[in-house]
Amino acid sequence: MPQLPPAAPRTMASRVQSIFSGSVGNLVEWYDWYVYSAFALYFAPAFFPKGNLTAQLLNSAAIFAVGFLMRPLGGWLMGVYADRAGRKAALLASVLLMCGGSLLIALTPSYQQIGVAAPVLLVVARLLQGLSVGGEYGTSATYLSEMADQRHRGFFSSFQYVTLIAGQLLALLVQLGLQQVLAPAELYAWGWRVPFGIGAVAALVALYLRRSMEETDQFTRHTATTPAQPPNQMRLLLRHPREILTVVGLTLGGTVVFYTFTTYVQKFLVNTTGFTKNQATLVSFGALGVAMLLQPLLGAISDRVGRRPVLLFFGIGATLLTVPLLRALGQAPGPGVAFGLLLVALVVVSGYTSINAVVKAELFPTEIRALGVGLPYALTVAIFGGSAEYVALLAKDYGVEEWFYWYVTACAAFSLLVYLRMPDTRTTSRLREEAQAPAAY
């Protein structure tokens, strides 16, 4: 691989401005993605009118999982595109796809109006959104990690999950607002369409903001030494099997625990604990708000003590605490207790969410970084993260709900084994190696 020429110095103000521009788009992307889960309780009867609540949620959760199946394709296509055309170009494309998916859901008639075409269109919309999010994660992680300086890379890259969680919070905030101004019958009839319309408009705003983003130094330097005929990136990626497997192992436990305590927990509090929808939404909103603030703190800690200790905090905590936390949540006597329990869970999860993006970006060289981060991650999330909610509801439907608790624990334990064996990427970072490489003339 040719050595890269040194990049011109970038001021801290310039870095912050670019990271902000990228992060706003990331927030909108994840708002659009999570609105589906937040409002599934309301729109499930519109698309799947027959059956009890659990059966309707199973149908909507199945389509939620179908959206995840597109994420590997998005990770591959957008990863290749980002590594060839630039991080900025790929981020513009991903937010445009998300806009289309949200608009389609907002405008799709109900099952009673158009029959089976309604859930079919819902699937198409989720496929578009899955393609978008699949490309967004790897490219966004790459962009934030490359835009940050070495001393603060963990801190700045943590804003990927700050904005990801902020997207969830915004979805819940919209839900809380609509619950206050609309009657339940109105929410079931048409109110659930409003947040998807908001998401489509917000995606257009994000598209406009992302047009002003700067390209990263690493990609700009790389293009200066790239041959006219670029190499096959999949072939290059397969030359890094250890790094690919590390991303898979790093992600597997994190994604299952994350989706359990962020997206599924709201349904769990209604369907298992017996809370009202409003109570479940408030508990989730409060705990996620605190968790969002923890991301930069843990990212900054990783810049000082290393990435591995922070990952071990998550791995050990999730392995030991998942079963007792879910048992206690299922029997929580009130929202206050549930909030405290969920907050403990999300503090543990933050050991993964705060730094997983930078750890993956530090594993790969510039020419395949977006693809290397995005594709293995998306494959793992599609198989394990996307199915977590469905597995949980299926276990409940069969009367063996606690099996799911142990399934989540086993996934966390598997990732813990990976964390124990992997090197600390803060000191073995490809990003650092490239920055220190001598100029090539």
The pLDDT tens digits for 324-339 are 999 999 999 999 999 9
**Exposed, middle or buried: residue 113 (CB in 10 Å: 0-12, 13-18, 19+)?**
exposed
pLDDT the model gives residue 243: 92
Q: How far is residue 134 CA from its own chain's centroid?
A: 9
pLDDT the model gives residue 220: 81
Extended strands (E) in 75-198 = none
pLDDT the model gives residue 439: 44
Tell me the pLDDT tens digit for each residue of 226-248.
Answer: 665 667 788 888 898 999 999 99
Cα separations in angstroms, 103 against 66, 106, 107, 199: 18, 5, 6, 8
Higher local confidence (pLDDT), 64 or 204: 204
Asked if 218 and 153 count as a contact pair (C-beta separation under 8 A), the reply is: no
Residues 391-415 have a mean pLDDT of 92
Asked if 22 and 82 count as a contact pair (C-beta separation under 8 A), the reply is: no
Asked if 287 and 339 count as a contact pair (C-beta separation under 8 A), the reply is: yes
Q: What is the mean pLDDT of the chain?
A: 85
Is the Cα dihedral 142, 147, 151, 153 positive or negative?
negative
137's tokens: 């994660």
Please, which contacts does 341-346 make with residues 24 or more away whose CB atoms are closer than 8 Å? 342/261, 342/265, 342/283, 342/284, 342/287, 343/286, 343/287, 343/290, 343/291, 345/257, 345/261, 345/287, 345/321, 346/261, 346/262, 346/287, 346/288, 346/290, 346/291, 346/294
Beta-carbon contacts of residue 396 (< 8 Å; ≥ 6 apart): 54, 271, 272, 404
Beta-carbon contacts of residue 347 (< 8 Å; ≥ 6 apart): 291, 294
Residues 401-415 have a mean pLDDT of 95
414's tokens: 């598997």
Extended strands (E) in 56-203 = none
78's tokens: 């957008």
Whether 1 has a pLDDT exceeding 60, the answer reads no
pLDDT the model gives residue 389: 84
Tell me the pLDDT tens digit for each residue of 58-71.
Answer: 666 666 667 677 88
pLDDT confidence band for 305 (50 / 70 / 90):
very high
pLDDT the model gives residue 58: 63
pLDDT confidence band for 2 (50 / 70 / 90):
very low
Q: Give CA–CA dist 329/338, Å, rounded.
A: 6
Q: Give CA–CA dist 248/396, Å, rounded.
A: 28
pLDDT confidence band for 108 (50 / 70 / 90):
confident
Tell me the pLDDT tens digit for each residue of 86-105.
Answer: 888 888 888 888 888 889 98
pLDDT confidence band for 125 (50 / 70 / 90):
confident
Does 2.30.30.140 match the CATH number of domain 12-219+239-436?
A: no
- Average the pLDDT over each of 103-107, 118-122, 292-296, 365-369 and give the range with the smallest value: 118-122
Whether 379 has a pLDDT exceeding 60, the answer reads yes
304's tokens: 């000082």
Is the Cα dihedral 161, 371, 7, 422 positive or negative?
positive
pLDDT confidence band for 42 (50 / 70 / 90):
confident
